[in-house]
Amino acid sequence: MQYLKEIKKWIGEITEISLLLIAFGIVVQILFGDVVPFFGGITTNLTALLNTLGDNGFVALITLGVILYLLQRRRVTD
């Protein structure tokens, strides 16, 4: 069981780092535009994701709620 807890901890840390990198990429792209090589398409992809969620209506809202619940639950259980 200790192995599972360690794996969950690692996955949680990787998820947090990924979210921080996404936030950083959004800020960098807002400041410098598409000229930044690594973070060039983050806002385009994020806009496409939000448009897809908006087009799918209620199902997308439920999906977004589940994702936010899982992210919030992970932080509370630490």
Amino acid 73: pLDDT: 67
Q: What is the pLDDT of residues 29-53, one digit of tens each?
A: 777 777 777 766 777 777 787 788 7
Alpha helices (H) along the chain: 2-32, 42-55, 58-76
pTM above 0.75, yes or no: no
What values do phi and psi take at 5, rounded to 5?
A: -65, -40
Query: Can you give the pLDDT at residue 75?
Result: 55
